[in-house]
């Protein structure tokens, strides 16, 4: 309760404090230090590009939001494994000031852990003891326009800095040792619907960031900024000036989208290309292939979400996997999952780079993505083309019925399938682990003109109160598309997964349970009640020869799961 | 199961947070009292007085259909003033008042009223049945996705908790028939509710306080 109100008071206080600073020589203190050792700052070793590159092999640190540039969330440590996970116990619990939706991935550098909260606070903690080194509170501007909660998914680390993107659409760099602000860059105007909830990605001296705002009629982007100065290096508009595409009548899996192409073409002749307000937010980190020197990311929904009448065409590159050149930001390839989406079925869960079997059984570099549709999509990394899609992980009913004025029922609902939650993989078993929602919704359409940066859904999607909602954890073989195992959960799932070489999969539930599953069978081997929704992706690290699993338990705004403010690190005795 | 493992690396959050807020609010009150007299552009003091004519000298509006603006979120107050000025939100009285305001004036007014303490109107809690009806609709539409779990809002999203029930009901009705036209997304969402749901939602939201919020 406190954290929420605290944030509110903080937001109000910021404006006032800005005014206050006019009259005082010293500006407001924004960094807290708690322990005696904190006076000296955090013992933050610098992070080299080599360390970032080799993060997949690093069992001591967790340097990327999704573990490594490939985003496998596969941790090579085996100390915690199927034989002993039952003895896993909390090493420490840290309670943060903000008690609100918690989607952060803990990042571990040496023995320092960085976590973030809703409303853009950053904590540096002692990863061994949970003690606080410093606490940075972002001075939020008065105008924020964001969807789905005041979330922040974490920081990027590089050299001697920690990078954060904020709800008021800024990219900032902090001194890793002290938490003080080094530079701040405005990415876009929050009054026009731009916001940031994703974690940045650090690579080759650049900080890569996308934007949110697909519910507000933005024009999305992915950009690279100079890590040292905060200056723009390149920009890629996720919606090109020619967003029409090929007037596709089917989705990537061959299902009819029931588009009225003639009506769309007539609209196009009348109003032209809708690219300026077409949305295309990016919610999660890109995967980076340093050999190909390319990034792979997925793009969110078109604006307005449910009303396609104002946005004729395929609405490129919304609902797509996109690959760019890392140095220049130039387009390389894309694959659109759902052309002209009118269900908010955007691509959100971060793509994963992993070797996959192609149609002939030959092992090639692949990309996989868990969709709101409930499919795991498997691509050829070379040209983004689709090799296969999995069996559906959730029931698919009435797809693709067009939204009506009175509302049409469809399953999955607008949250998926797989929402923003990152999947994990275990390459040894060729398995991807996805967490899903089963949440039927009604889709209503209503046409409204662009409302100047306000919420622009073009209708409403509504949970059906009389129908049951639940979730599942699913293991999918990405070489065959077959489901290996599936465990039903009582609540819809949102958060993320971590797989380990100890043959475990960790993921949390809205009801507070954090569980370890046997990676091959899905058997639950360990559970811990965290007291609030575990709706954040777990991380793993080791210190002094001891492995830890760490996760945030703070609930979720988007589907209103029980809030909390805990970061919990687990270890064996 | 949780508490035995809790380490004392910080104060008990509840106590700490409350104190923090009390200090913050005290500071806000002190600073805004100062800035109110010092930093407004010419004529803003008069505007503040003018606002108080309807929105209340003590933060409690004269009419049930007039919103509480003391302690309302700063970004929201600014956006509404902006929209009254542009005509996106229509209200004869407000349009006349904002006609001569500059962007800077509107931001200053928003900051001023956001810094004041939300008043306690002590609106009664509705019955269990009405509360249940309200919560069912709220859960179905997903109001807390933007207005947050205590309906305290944030930034450009308004606080609803403790707002005047008459104003809430009128606003929802105005969104539904689109006579309030500056947020079509809200119109769409409210049209996913039924007319009979509006009064329960208004009663429920009006009765709420925000924990740690002073009221």
ipTM: 0.83
Q: How many residues does chain A have?
A: 573
Answer whether B88 touches A (CB < 8 Å).
yes
Answer whether B160 touches A (CB < 8 Å).
no
For testing the chain B interface, which of A6, A7, A9, A121 should be mutated: the one with the most B CBs within 10 Å?
Answer: A9
Indicate the SS3 state at residue A211: coil
Q: Of A417, A466, A420, A414, nearest to A441 (Cα)?
A: A414
Share the mean pLDDT of chain A.
93
Phi, psi of A519 (to 5 degrees): -65, -30
pLDDT of residue A3: 28
Going from N- to C-terminal start, the domains of chain B cover 3-42, 55-114, 128-207
Query: Percentage of chain A surpassing pLDDT 90?
Result: 91
pLDDT of residue B56: 94
> CA of A441 to nearest chain B CA: how many angstroms apart?
9
Q: Of A219, A196, A191, A193, nearest to A209 (Cα)?
A: A196
> CA of B172 to nearest chain A CA: how many angstroms apart?
15
Beta carbons of A26 and B42 less than 8 angstroms apart? no
Scanning B54-83 for CB atoms below 8 A from A yields 71, 73-75, 78-79
| Inter-CA distances, B113 with A153, A457, B35, B52, B68, Å | 32, 30, 12, 10, 10
* Domain B55-114 homologous superfamily, CATH: Cytochrome c-like domain (1.10.760.10)
pLDDT of residue A42: 87
Global pTM?
A: 0.89
Tens-binned pLDDT, residue by residue, of chain B (215 aa):
233 223 333 333 333 333 333 333 333 343 343 344 444 445 678 889 999 999 999 999 989 999 999 999 999 999 999 999 999 999 999 999 999 999 999 999 999 999 999 999 889 999 999 999 999 999 999 899 899 989 999 999 999 999 999 999 999 999 999 999 999 999 999 998 999 999 999 999 999 998 865 43
A344 is catalytic: yes
Topology agreement, domain B55-114 and domain B128-207: yes
Q: Tens digits of per-residue pLDDT, A339-398?
A: 999 999 999 999 999 999 999 999 999 999 999 999 999 999 999 999 999 999 999 999
| Spatial CB neighbours of A361, under 8 Å, sequence gap ≥ 6 | none
- Residue B42: alpha-carbon gap to chain centroid: 27
Chain B residue nearest residue A463, CA to CA: B140
* CA gap A99, A102 in Å, rounded: 8
* Domain B128-207 homologous superfamily, CATH: Cytochrome c-like domain (1.10.760.10)
Answer whether B36 touches A (CB < 8 Å).
no
> CA of A385 to nearest chain B CA: how many angstroms apart?
35
């Amino acid at each position: 309760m406190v954290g929420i109100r605290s944030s509110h008071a903080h937001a109000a206080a910021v404006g006032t404090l800005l005014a206050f600073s006019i009259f005082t020589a010293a500006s407001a203190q924004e960094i807290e230090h708690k322990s005696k050792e904190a006076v000296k700052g955090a013992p933050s070793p610098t992070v080299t590009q080599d360390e970032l590159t080799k993060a997949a092999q690093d069992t001591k640190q967790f340097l990327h939001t999704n573990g490594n540039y490939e985003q496998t969330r596969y941790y090579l440590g085996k100390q915690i494994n199927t034989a002993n996970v039952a003895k896993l116990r909390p090493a420490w619990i840290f309670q943060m000031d903000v008690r609100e939706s918690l989607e952060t991935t803990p990042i571990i550098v040496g023995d320092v852990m960085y976590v973030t909260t809703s409303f853009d606070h950053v904590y540096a903690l002692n990863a061994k003891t949970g003690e606080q080194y410093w606490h940075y509170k972002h001075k939020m501007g008065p105008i924020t326009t964001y969807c789905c909660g005041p979330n922040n998914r974490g920081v990027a680390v590089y050299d001697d800095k920690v990078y954060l993107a904020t709800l008021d659409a800024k990219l900032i760099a902090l001194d890793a040792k002290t938490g003080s602000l080094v530079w701040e860059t405005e990415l876009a105007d929050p009054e026009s619907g731009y916001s940031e909830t994703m974690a940045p990605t650090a690579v080759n001296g650049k900080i890569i960031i996308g934007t949110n705002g697909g519910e507000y009629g933005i024009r999305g982007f992915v950009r690279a900024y100079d890590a040292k100065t905060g200056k723009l290096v390149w920009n890629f508009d996720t919606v090109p000036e020619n967003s029409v595409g090929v007037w596709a009548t089917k989705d990537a899996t061959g299902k009819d989208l029931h588009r009225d192409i003639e009506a769309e073409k007539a609209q196009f002749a009348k109003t032209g290309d809708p690219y300026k307000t077409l949305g295309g937010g990016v919610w999660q980190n890109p995967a980076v292939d340093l050999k190909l020197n390319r990034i792979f990311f997925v793009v969110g929904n078109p604006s307005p979400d449910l009303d396609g009448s104002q946005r004729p065409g395929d609405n490129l590159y919304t609902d797509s996997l996109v690959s760019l050149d890392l140095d220049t930001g130039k387009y390389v390839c894309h694959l659109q999952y759902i052309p002209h989406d009118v269900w908010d079925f955007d691509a959100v869960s971060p793509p994963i780079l992993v070797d996959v079997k192609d149609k002939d059984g030959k092992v090639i570099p692949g990309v996989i993505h868990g969709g709101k549709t409930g499919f795991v999509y498997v691509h050829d990394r070379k040209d983004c083309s689709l090799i296969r899609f999995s069996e559906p992980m959730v029931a698919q009913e009435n797809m693709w019925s067009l939204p009506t004025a009175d509302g049409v029922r469809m399953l999955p609902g607008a949250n998926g399938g797989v929402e923003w939650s990152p999947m994990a993989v275990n390459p040894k078993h060729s398995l991807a682990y996805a967490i899903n929602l089963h949440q039927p919704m009604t889709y209503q359409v209503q046409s409204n003109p662009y409302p100047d940066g306000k919420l622009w859904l073009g209708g409403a999607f509504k949970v059906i109160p009389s129908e049951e909602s639940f979730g599942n954890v699913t293991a999918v073989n990405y070489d065959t598309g077959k489901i290996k195992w599936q465990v039903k959960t009582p609540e819809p799932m949102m958060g993320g997964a971590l797989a380990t070489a100890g043959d475990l999969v960790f993921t949390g539930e809205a009801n507070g349970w954090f569980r370890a599953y046997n990676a091959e069978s899905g058997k639950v081997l360990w559970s811990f009640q965290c007291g609030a929704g575990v709706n954040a992706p777990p991380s793993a690290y080791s210190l002094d020869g001891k492995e830890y699993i760490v996760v945030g338990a703070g609930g979720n705004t988007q589907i209103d799961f029980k809030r909390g403010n805990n970061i919990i690190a687990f270890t064996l005795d | 199961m949780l508490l035995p493992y809790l380490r004392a690396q910080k104060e008990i959050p509840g106590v700490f947070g409350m104190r923090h807020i009390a200090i913050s609010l005290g500071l806000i009150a002190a600073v805004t009292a100062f800035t109110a007299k010092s930093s407004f552009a010419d004529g803003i003091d008069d505007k503040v007085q003018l606002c108080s004519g309807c929105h209340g000298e003590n933060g409690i509006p004269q009419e049930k259909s007039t919103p509480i603006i003391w302690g309302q979120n700063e970004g929201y107050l600014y956006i509404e003033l902006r929209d009254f000025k542009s005509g996106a939100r229509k209200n004869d009285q407000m349009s006349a008042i904002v006609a001569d305001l500059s962007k800077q004036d509107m931001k200053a007014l928003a900051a001023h009223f956001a810094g004041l303490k939300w008043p306690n109107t002590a609106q009664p809690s509705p019955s269990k049945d009405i509360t249940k009806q309200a919560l069912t609709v709220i859960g179905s539409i997903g109001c807390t996705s933007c207005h947050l779990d205590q309906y305290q809002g944030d930034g450009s999203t308004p606080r609803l908790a403790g707002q005047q029930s008459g104003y809430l009901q009128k606003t929802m009705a105005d969104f539904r028939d689109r006579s309030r036209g500056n947020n079509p997304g809200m119109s769409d969402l409210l049209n996913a509710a039924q007319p009979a749901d509006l009064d329960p939602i208004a009663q429920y939201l009006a009765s709420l306080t925000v924990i740690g919020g002073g009221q």
